[in-house]
Chain A
């Protein structure tokens, strides 16, 4: 009890009195001397508002040293006071001076503002946070478990800072007064703009609003991916289809594919110079048009990209139907069709709704494919992007569009959450299946084969094209073999100074790998700790906590991107232009996947195992390290792989957050596509896909197997639920 109190008191004092208070890597304030000022020095200099923090750091000291009965209270007051004070001074004093004019009137003008908080501030804030949680624990919260209270406090605080606060700045940005128009009116105007809601395409000549474009696209995508996913799931689970492994591969591919890469392949086939287009033009005299750009193209690419996700959701559902139920139906003299119609189908229905909603949300949130394939067809995610980066540069409008998109996604997420219920993943069990599943009615079997097999062939064809496309001079016009694109991207050279990384892709590739390699373990760790809290601890507000952590998954990347540049481009937390903002963004966007993986496998672990460790005198941290982590190896692999791979493939949020110094592979590739340099883009994409395949193998090797002799087979349903978020 005593030791961790002392430890965090010391850390708090070090953070305040020694570590540089302001700025991360890109500190703007020129350092006066070798060591930038700590909170103490700055406080004695021109930032006196940092001095009161000493009070809060000092308050618990005598209590802790005297082992007083009131230590808990002192820690709570000190921690909370310190945090509140940091929030106040941080938001009241910006880099320009007082944030609000009225404060200047009260306290006089400031000669100079303050830059964003840095390591010192961060360490001190953490110490305050843990004072607070240790204080709560000392007063009996969570049965006095300091680790658990601390973990909950840390997660809640960081989710508040990196998810809820940025999103709330989107709202305030949308309310910013526009010229002489007041905030409320401006918000109203922005939210009800014609180009968002207009139904002109139905009533007459004008275009429809962007919301309808998105909703139509999302609905179509949801329906089609669900149908295809179901066909694949039935093939995989209910037929004796001989190429099951190929189906599995098909379900992994989109996870390791950046979202727009499939778009590139589709362009290679159906674009103006696409193979199919040229073939039709030559043999049938059809004029080559740009028909693929727009709704058909986006829909096609999204269907290709998200069908496997629907498959993963539905294979879990199909396999989750206990064959014994179908057998029971058959013993009651139901035929194949009746069994399917009256037993199998009703049991699958909630899963289908789930798959539809997943497809809908994915489609709405997707940014890469509409960007590459959109043509004139605007959807919310791309419109937000152009509102920020284009000639418009209208953050207010971007924010309003962001709110609309957010509302749609969160709405769909809420429906899904209600429908499937939070218990969806706790039903996953490692139990073997009793009995053999019923065979499909013959005509249904034909139908699913007829749907699934051509589509699978098409998908593999596209991936073949991607690998191939990197090696031709100029697709469609000049199909001669070349290594030119690879050399441009990944060229190496020797001169007298040694190795030169001359290729143009190296810079972004290294940043990508570095950022992903930092983000992945953080994501996995935070996600699994959250899962531990959710599965193993009971606390007030647990349901809210779970919902909060999951909600960040429903926030589209474009919205997060806008939110981050709005929230973090000025003090108190200034992160834009750093690599840290990319890491933070990935951690909080991908955490829900780790949580799912963790929750799914942790609910399969007997709760008595960790309780037993506790009764044997292990504390929570020891229990996690010695008992839970070794048994969670499969979940750890899943969490690491997903967070690493998703950090590499994601583009929507990233494209807002990259800077000249920290460019990412995906945003670099999208840039190439936009100027029509397909060869390089495709070459780079192929390299990414291969790299990620290697990374997956490496992670599996590094984390290792869990050794319990009679391993329970990793239930495919568990994997499905991880993706189904």
Chain B
């Protein structure tokens, strides 16, 4: 890798839409990716993440709107001429070229002399921990190794922007953790502007500087990982971020920056959320935000333990209450409450968020 004149550009979308016939895959979205950061597009399958990513790469032309990379309008620039590379979900390794040729391909077509490009490719392979695999064919590598080759191939061009489309979805769970840490480490070491697509919220939380949650072709919420987890603005985001307890609630009082919310038989006194003006709300409670107590209190909910699962590091409960079913992760795994017994659910205030009801 040459250290010279490394250009790090951000990405900006201005009201970009993409339609396929009657289907709108991406609808008027605008966002900014700051130079050197890793931003994740998170959302359920079919929400338009890949399409967005492909428009950054230039593989797909927007139906309307403007795309800027490094401050330059690239809307009409074909993929070939953009300084953007991509790690494909299927890896897209060229099956007829060996690992070295795959990694050196981008350098080759841009006319880098053989000796230099091979040196650079070797360096790239070393960076992803694959030195010594140069002469293998892709079909002779394991899934994780193929993944690394794909990353090395995209890295050696030192692109302005690096894109990942669900790069880990073909790997098994253990490898996935390791790869995502490696990717994050490489990205921050090289200071590359990156856009990362995934439908896995845990993965998104782990790798991102910022997360853009998409739903049905539009952006549902954008923010830092903790923003999204602590302050979801909609039921959809809360649900998608893994905040699995969603109970109906009614605001009964608002005063000096706090709200009182009635939720089943409990009345919670919470810091006022920013987004909810309506009185009908959904109370979103993280599984870790609930404790089981033996005594009653006004802000506790009476529950019956339906199921208790011992998982080594923690306990998982499924509780029945008048307000609905609750899922609890309890890290203090010593004293399990047996199924069938009654208890009181207490809520940690930083584990609860209010979002508008519906949707």
* B-binding residues in A (CB < 8 A): 140, 143-145, 606, 608-609, 611-620, 622, 626-627, 630-631, 706-710
Give the nearest-CB partner of A712 in chain B: B95
Looking at the assembled complex, report how far the CB atom of B283 sits from the nearest CB atom of chain A, in whole angstroms: 43
Instruction: Enumerate chain B residues within 8 angstroms of A706, measured Cβ to Cβ.
Output: 96
Known: A611-B59, A616-B157, A709-B139. A143 touches B84 (CB 8 A): no
B308 within 8 A of partner (CB)? no
Known: A143-B78, A616-B109, A709-B140. A631 touches B88 (CB 8 A): no
Q: Are A606 and B90 in contact (CB under 8 A)?
A: yes
Q: Which residue in A615, A618, A708 is a CB contact (below 8 Å) of B84?
A: A615
Instruction: Enumerate chain B residues within 8 angstroms of A616, measured Cβ to Cβ.
Output: 85, 105-106, 109, 153-154, 157
B76 within 8 A of partner (CB)? yes
Give the nearest-CB partner of B90 in chain A: A608
Instruction: Enumerate chain A residues within 8 angstroms of B84, measured Cβ to Cβ.
Output: 615
Looking at the assembled complex, report how far the CB atom of A258 sits from the nearest CB atom of chain B, in whole angstroms: 37
B79 within 8 A of partner (CB)? yes
Instruction: Enumerate chain A residues within 8 angstroms of B110, measured Cβ to Cβ.
Output: 617
Known: A143-B61, A143-B78, A616-B109. A609 touches B94 (CB 8 A): yes
Known: A144-B76, A709-B140. A608 touches B95 (CB 8 A): no
27 contacts between A and B (CB under 8 A): A140-B76, A143-B61, A143-B79, A144-B78, A608-B89, A608-B90, A612-B92, A613-B94, A614-B59, A614-B78, A614-B79, A614-B80, A615-B79, A615-B86, A616-B85, A616-B109, A616-B153, A616-B157, A617-B80, A617-B81, A618-B105, A619-B109, A620-B80, A630-B96, A708-B95, A708-B96, A709-B95
Q: How far is the CA of A363 from the CA of B140 in the complex (A)?
A: 49
B336 within 8 A of partner (CB)? no
Q: Which residues B102-151 have CB closer than 8 A to chain A?
A: 105-106, 109-110, 137, 139-140
Known: A608-B90, A708-B96, A710-B139. 18 other contacts (CB 8 A): A144-B76, A144-B78, A145-B78, A606-B90, A608-B89, A611-B59, A613-B109, A614-B59, A614-B80, A615-B58, A615-B59, A615-B163, A617-B80, A617-B106, A617-B157, A618-B80, A707-B96, A707-B137
**Most central of B54, B58, B79, B110 by chain A CB within 10 Å:** B79
Give the nearest-CB partner of B88 in chain A: A608
Q: How many residues does chain B have at the interface if contact means C-beta atoms less than 8 Å apart?
A: 33
Looking at the assembled complex, report how far the CB atom of B284 sits from the nearest CB atom of chain A, in whole angstroms: 37
Q: How far is the CA of A144 from the CA of B61 in the complex (A)?
A: 10
Looking at the assembled complex, report how far the CB atom of A44 sits from the nearest CB atom of chain B, in whole angstroms: 43
Give the nearest-CB partner of A710 in chain B: B139
Looking at the assembled complex, report how far the CB atom of B160 sits from the nearest CB atom of chain A, in whole angstroms: 12
B175 within 8 A of partner (CB)? no
Looking at the assembled complex, report how far the CB atom of A518 sits from the nearest CB atom of chain B, in whole angstroms: 29
Q: Are A144 and B88 in contact (CB under 8 A)?
A: no
Q: Are B59 and A708 in contact (CB under 8 A)?
A: no
Q: Are A611 and B79 in contact (CB under 8 A)?
A: yes
Looking at the assembled complex, report how far the CB atom of B221 sits from the nearest CB atom of chain A, in whole angstroms: 29
Q: Which 9 A-B pairs have the closest CB atoms?
A: A616-B106, A608-B92, A708-B95, A612-B92, A618-B109, A614-B79, A709-B139, A710-B139, A608-B88
Contact mask for chain B residues 56-86; partner A; CB cutoff 8 A; 1 contact, 0 none: 0111010000000000000011111110111
Q: Are A615 and B77 in contact (CB under 8 A)?
A: no
Q: How far is the CA of A702 from the CA of B53 in the complex (A)?
A: 41
Q: Are A615 and B76 in contact (CB under 8 A)?
A: no
Q: How far is the CA of A608 from the CA of B59 in the complex (A)?
A: 10
Q: Are A612 and B157 in contact (CB under 8 A)?
A: no
Q: How far is the CA of A626 from the CA of B89 in the complex (A)?
A: 21
Q: Which residue in A140, A143, A608, A613 is a CB contact (below 8 Å) of B105?
A: A613
Q: Are A606 and B59 in contact (CB under 8 A)?
A: no
Q: Which residues B162-211 have CB closer than 8 A to chain A?
A: 163
Instruction: Enumerate chain B residues within 8 angstroms of A631, measured Cβ to Cβ.
Output: 94-96
**Most central of A608, A616, A707 by chain B CB within 10 Å:** A616
Looking at the assembled complex, report how far the CB atom of A143 sits from the nearest CB atom of chain B, in whole angstroms: 5
Instruction: Enumerate chain B residues within 8 angstroms of A630, measured Cβ to Cβ.
Output: 96
Q: Are B88 and A611 in contact (CB under 8 A)?
A: yes
Q: Are A612 and B137 in contact (CB under 8 A)?
A: no
Q: How far is the CA of A626 from the CA of B85 in the complex (A)?
A: 18
Known: A617-B157, A709-B140. A627 touches B94 (CB 8 A): yes
Q: How far is the CA of A539 from the CA of B137 in the complex (A)?
A: 35
Looking at the assembled complex, report how far the CB atom of A650 sits from the nearest CB atom of chain B, in whole angstroms: 34
Instruction: Enumerate chain A residues within 8 angstroms of B109, measured Cβ to Cβ.
Output: 613, 616-619, 622, 626
Q: Which residue in B58, B80, B92, B137 is a CB contact (below 8 Å) of A708?
A: B137
Instruction: Enumerate chain A residues within 8 angstroms of B61, measured Cβ to Cβ.
Output: 143
**Most central of A611, A620, A631, A710 by chain B CB within 10 Å:** A611
Instruction: Enumerate chain A residues within 8 angstroms of B58, measured Cβ to Cβ.
Output: 143, 614-615
Looking at the assembled complex, report how far the CB atom of B152 sits from the nearest CB atom of chain A, in whole angstroms: 12
Give the nearest-CB partner of B85 in chain A: A615
Instruction: Enumerate chain B residues within 8 angstroms of A707, measured Cβ to Cβ.
Output: 96, 137
Instruction: Enumerate chain A residues within 8 angstroms of B137, measured Cβ to Cβ.
Output: 707-709
Looking at the assembled complex, report how far the CB atom of B166 sits from the nearest CB atom of chain A, in whole angstroms: 12
Give the nearest-CB partner of A633 in chain B: B96
Q: How far is the CA of A619 from the CA of B58 in the complex (A)?
A: 13
Instruction: Enumerate chain A residues within 8 angstroms of B95, measured Cβ to Cβ.
Output: 631, 708-709
Q: Are B92 and A606 in contact (CB under 8 A)?
A: yes
Looking at the assembled complex, report how far the CB atom of A99 sits from the nearest CB atom of chain B, in whole angstroms: 44
Looking at the assembled complex, report how far the CB atom of A163 sits from the nearest CB atom of chain B, in whole angstroms: 30
Looking at the assembled complex, report how far the CB atom of A665 sits from the nearest CB atom of chain B, in whole angstroms: 38
Instruction: Enumerate chain B residues within 8 angstroms of A140, measured Cβ to Cβ.
Output: 76
Looking at the assembled complex, report how far the CB atom of B120 sits from the nearest CB atom of chain A, in whole angstroms: 13
Q: How far is the CA of A10 from the CA of B282 in the complex (A)?
A: 71
Give the nearest-CB partner of B60 in chain A: A143
Q: How far is the CA of A682 from the CA of B42 in the complex (A)?
A: 71
Q: Are A619 and B80 in contact (CB under 8 A)?
A: yes
Looking at the assembled complex, report how far the CB atom of B80 sits from the nearest CB atom of chain A, in whole angstroms: 5
Instruction: Enumerate chain A residues within 8 angstroms of B80, measured Cβ to Cβ.
Output: 614, 617-620
**Most central of B61, B86, B95, B153 by chain A CB within 10 Å:** B95
Looking at the assembled complex, report how far the CB atom of B91 sits from the nearest CB atom of chain A, in whole angstroms: 8
Q: How far is the CA of A618 from the CA of B89 in the complex (A)?
A: 20
Q: Are B78 and A612 in contact (CB under 8 A)?
A: no
Give the nearest-CB partner of A613 in chain B: B105
Instruction: Enumerate chain B residues within 8 angstroms of A611, measured Cβ to Cβ.
Output: 54, 57, 59, 79, 86, 88, 92
Q: How far is the CA of A154 from the CA of B80 in the complex (A)?
A: 22
Q: How far is the CA of A606 from the CA of B85 in the complex (A)?
A: 18
Q: How far is the CA of A706 from the CA of B137 in the complex (A)?
A: 13
Instruction: Enumerate chain B residues within 8 angstroms of A709, measured Cβ to Cβ.
Output: 95, 137, 139-140
Looking at the assembled complex, report how far the CB atom of B86 sits from the nearest CB atom of chain A, in whole angstroms: 5
Give the nearest-CB partner of B104 in chain A: A616
Instruction: Enumerate chain B residues within 8 angstroms of A617, measured Cβ to Cβ.
Output: 80-81, 106, 109-110, 157
Looking at the assembled complex, report how far the CB atom of B158 sits from the nearest CB atom of chain A, in whole angstroms: 12
Looking at the assembled complex, report how far the CB atom of A421 sits from the nearest CB atom of chain B, in whole angstroms: 18
Give the nearest-CB partner of B136 in chain A: A709
Give the nearest-CB partner of A146 in chain B: B78
Q: How far is the CA of A618 from the CA of B92 in the complex (A)?
A: 15
Q: How far is the CA of A627 from the CA of B95 in the complex (A)?
A: 9
Q: Are B92 and A609 in contact (CB under 8 A)?
A: yes
**Most central of B77, B90, B105, B153 by chain A CB within 10 Å:** B105
Q: How far is the CA of A606 from the CA of B150 in the complex (A)?
A: 15
Instruction: Enumerate chain A residues within 8 angstroms of B163, measured Cβ to Cβ.
Output: 615
Instruction: Enumerate chain A residues within 8 angstroms of B92, measured Cβ to Cβ.
Output: 606, 608-609, 611-612
Q: How far is the CA of A615 from the CA of B77 in the complex (A)?
A: 12
Instruction: Enumerate chain A residues within 8 angstroms of B79, measured Cβ to Cβ.
Output: 143, 611, 614-615
Q: How far is the CA of A360 from the CA of B231 in the complex (A)?
A: 69
Give the nearest-CB partner of B61 in chain A: A143
Q: How far is the CA of A494 from the CA of B52 in the complex (A)?
A: 75
Give the nearest-CB partner of B91 in chain A: A608
Give the nearest-CB partner of A609 in chain B: B92
Looking at the assembled complex, report how far the CB atom of B65 sits from the nearest CB atom of chain A, in whole angstroms: 15
Q: How far is the CA of A606 from the CA of B95 in the complex (A)?
A: 10
**Most central of B61, B80, B84, B96 by chain A CB within 10 Å:** B80
Q: How far is the CA of A631 from the CA of B84 in the complex (A)?
A: 25
Instruction: Enumerate chain A residues within 8 angstroms of B105, measured Cβ to Cβ.
Output: 613, 616, 618, 626
